[in-house]
Amino acid sequence: MASPKKTQEPVITSITDLPTADAKWITLQKIAYLDQAGTARTWEAASRKTRAVSAGVDAVAMGNILLHPSRPASTLLVIQYRPPLDAYTVEWPAGLVDEGETAAQAAVREFQEETGYTCEVVSVSPVQAADPGLSSANMQLVMVEVRLGDGEEAPLPEQRLEDGEHIQRVVVPLAELYQRLVEYSGRERMVVAAKLFHFAAGMEFAKTKGKEYGI
């Protein structure tokens, strides 16, 4: 499972319309509704078919802080090929919530799988709408911390990836996060996920404009 494999650039071999009835993971729905004025309207939406009933939420993302006695506070990002974009995305580790799990439990499990690190949950956000004009998908941002000892240096711990997962990890000092994401965005076949970019942009905004705007 963790044995090194030959790597090559992923390549799309075909894209075909997927009939809704054949889709296993996601679906298309037509929603008929009465709007605020009582007018009958329709809306087209995509939905995940995998939402755990217990949690009522599709996914968690782990806003993570790596703390080390002598190195700057950092965050671990994952870079992986995402077929919908035919590009490598830069994201915080994230995953779907399994049936019977809380968001916090899913965060600890997925973080361990994707990064190899055991983390402590600092806070769990309210449920957020992932892309509200397009889909019903929702998520929670779970802030987690990893406290490293003096001896814990590179290389990063072993991942426990599922078959077919190829996830590269990079550790970025928090103070450089925004600039690094801008740099990644300028690279060939690479795109930063909007949620991570917005968090970093909010940090940068507070840092550079906070005084001027009284925040």
Range 162-191, binding a copy of itself (CB under 8 A): 164, 166, 174-175, 182, 185-186, 191
Q: Confirm or reject binding of residue 37 to a copy of itself (CB under 8 A).
A: yes
Question: Binding string to a copy of itself for residues 196 to 215, with x set by CB under 8 A, is what?
Answer: xxxxxxxxxxxx--x-xxxx
Residue 41's H or E segment, with its range, is: strand 40-48
Contact criterion met (CB below 8 Å) for 70 and 150: yes
- Per CB under 8 A, the segment of 8-16, 104-112, 113-121, 147-155 that binds a copy of itself is 8-16
Which among 42-50, 97-105, 110-118, 154-162 is the span making contact with a copy of itself, rule CB under 8 A? 42-50
Six-digit token string for 2: 């963790």
Q: For the chain, state the CA radius of gyration.
A: 19
CB 71 within 8 A of CB 175: no
Of residues 126, 149, 151, 155, which one binds a copy of itself by CB under 8 A? 126
Of the candidate residues 2, 24, 70, 154, the single one contacting a copy of itself (CB under 8 A): 24
Q: Residue 141, interface with a copy of itself (CB under 8 A)?
A: yes
Whether residue 140 contacts residue 124, with contact meaning beta carbons closer than 8 Å, is answered with yes
* 73 C-beta neighbours (distance < 10 Å), count: 12
State how far the Cα of 179 lies from the Cα of 8, in Å rounded to an integer: 28
Residue range at the interface with a copy of itself (CB under 8 A); choices 16-24, 100-108, 110-118, 147-155: 16-24
